[in-house]
Amino acid sequence: MSRLIVISNRVSPPKTEDGSGAQGGLAVALAAALREYRGLWFGWSGRKTDKFTGHIDMQRAHGVTTATIDLEEQDVEEYYNGYANRTLWPLFHYRIDLAEYDRSFGSGYERVNERFAETVTPLIEPDDLIWVHDYHLIPLGQQLRERGLKNRMGFFLHIPWPPSRLMVSLPYHEKLVRTMLAYDVIGFQTEEWLESFCHYVERELGGTVDPDGVIHVGDRSVHAAAYPIGVDFKEFTEALESDAARESFERLRTSAAGRRTIIGVDRLDYSKGLEERFLGYRRFLEKHPRYQRKLFLLQIAPPSRGEVATYEVIREHLDELSGRINGEFADVDWVPVRYVNQGYRREELAGFYRAAEIALITPLRDGMNLVAKEYVAAQDPEDPGVLILSRFAGAALQLKDALLVNPYSKDEIADAIMRAIRMPKEERIRRWKAMVEVVRQEDVVAWRHAFVEALEKARPPVRREPTP
Ligand code: GDG
């Protein structure tokens, strides 16, 4: 069996035998994939160094080998805070108004991709399967090919692919997209993002797309398909059984004192539609005064990307808006918004999800959205909660039995909250059963198997002759 080399911007070393101590479901999933296929996980350590040395820190823990490098301050500023998070992230989430185009970002992005390629190449054996993750590393495959690697290589994009009319606003967009032809398999979260990518290839690169998803541009053929990511259903339901989950369930139910909880869990990011969500909730309170004291919104929003100014701005707006709503509606014994800027352990989150009667997950644009799936996975089958989900999340294409809303419409959000409150138990159970089936079947294990299988099938491995 070939080894699997996973390459992503950051590497999260697994902390426990089953990886459950690692932050985020994706880290857990990738650690599990690496244990299955042996191999290693390569990426940035998250640390800064004065001068880039290319030193690789190799560690092995709980069956997973990680190899990390440190980056220079300037690298982090231009590649990570710059091109990845100030240029590509907003553009790919349809926010060209927020996208910044700065030459230094572009050159920093190229430089760091070269640094990744240069340092990882000696670790790769001829039969290895290489799986590159996300928008930070789009040109990496090309960089590896330039260093003579003939391995099978795949790329998975965790975020949306924007419509061509937006994509062309990126300087040198064609150069960037052409580098993707170096991969053998390109994966997207949904058919929608895949379609946008194919449209770009036909329109801007003069390529063709076969009905089976093979893209041809010049003499290159690449297999492109949708591989919707899922949660680790087994790991998550086990987390629900933990003491920490039980305690956080009790903690929330006790403090709710009979009121219903509407929960939201999101990184503090403008793509998650938090301001619009608060305004939709405010509209609900305004329209239905008699419900005012019967529920509250618990928004968990751990800060992210604090070094990027737009994230500071959104944080200020949300502080202000939650304060305003609370000032307007609160009473001595009731606060309508509990807005929390800290992260919790996975087990604790699982307990909070279970305790909340309604989830309000309304990103303006989201590649998939795992929180929606985690909420479904955490529900009590006898008495499940209601999921209100943005139609612009990739997850909406699979979770069709959620209450789907337009996150830009305050009235749709307010009406969906009302509908969720009034929804009879039988309907809640029927909708939840349909959703949990999808979440269980199309979980993260199915996702990685489907992707790796496509990569294995992409073409026979090319064995390099040993150099004499
Ligand atoms: C990108 C794409 C795509 C959140 N708060 C805490 C916490 N989380 C965990 C959630 C979930 C993960 O972080 C967030 O995943 P999402 O999918 O919701 O969103 P992004 O971070 O934007 O992820 C997205 C994903 O990649 C995977 O492909 O679905 O569309 O944007 O697992 O539970 N985890 C802990 N404490 C917290 O406070 N432990």
Mutate to test the pocket of ligand 1, among 270, 368, 375, 376 (most ligand atoms within 8 A of CB): 368
Q: Alpha-carbon Rg of the chain, whole angstroms?
A: 23
* 233-441 CATH pick, 3.30.200.20, 3.90.1310.10, 3.40.50.2000, 3.40.640.10: 3.40.50.2000
Is 366 assigned a catalytic role?
A: yes
Domain parsing of the chain, residue ranges: 4-230+447-457, 233-441
Question: Do 4-230+447-457 and 233-441 have matching folds?
Answer: yes
CB of residue 21 inside a 6 A radius of ligand 1: no
* Short-list 222, 226, 154, 210, CA closest to 456: 154
Question: Per CATH, which fold does 4-230+447-457 belong to?
Answer: Rossmann fold (3.40.50)
* Short-list 403, 356, 400, 401, CA closest to 375: 356
Could you tell me if 9 and 134 are in contact, meaning their C-beta atoms sit under 8 angstroms apart?
Answer: yes
Write down the pTM of the prediction.
0.95
The pLDDT value given to residue 466: 52
Under 8 Å CB-to-CB from 391, ≥6 apart: which residues?
A: 404, 405, 406, 407
Could you tell me if 294 and 259 are in contact, meaning their C-beta atoms sit under 8 angstroms apart?
Answer: yes
CB of residue 349 inside a 6 A radius of ligand 1: yes
Separation CA 248–CA 319 (nearest Å):
24
The pLDDT value given to residue 15: 59
Q: Give the position, in ligand 1's atom list, of the atom nearest the Cα of 372.
A: 18
CA of 155 from ligand 1 middle (Å) equals 19
Under 8 Å CB-to-CB from 166, ≥6 apart: which residues?
A: 91, 94, 96
Give me the tens of pLDDT residue by residue for the chain, a chain 468 residues long.
Answer: 789 999 999 997 665 444 444 456 677 778 878 888 888 999 999 999 999 999 999 999 888 899 999 999 999 999 999 999 999 999 999 999 999 999 999 999 999 999 999 999 999 999 999 999 999 999 999 999 999 999 999 999 999 999 999 999 999 999 999 999 999 999 999 999 999 999 999 999 999 999 988 999 999 999 999 999 999 999 899 999 999 999 999 999 999 999 999 999 999 999 999 999 999 999 999 999 999 999 999 999 998 888 888 888 999 999 999 999 999 999 999 999 999 999 999 999 999 999 999 999 999 999 999 999 999 999 999 999 999 999 999 999 999 999 999 999 999 999 999 999 999 999 999 999 999 999 999 999 999 999 999 999 987 666 555 555
CB of residue 229 inside a 6 A radius of ligand 1: yes
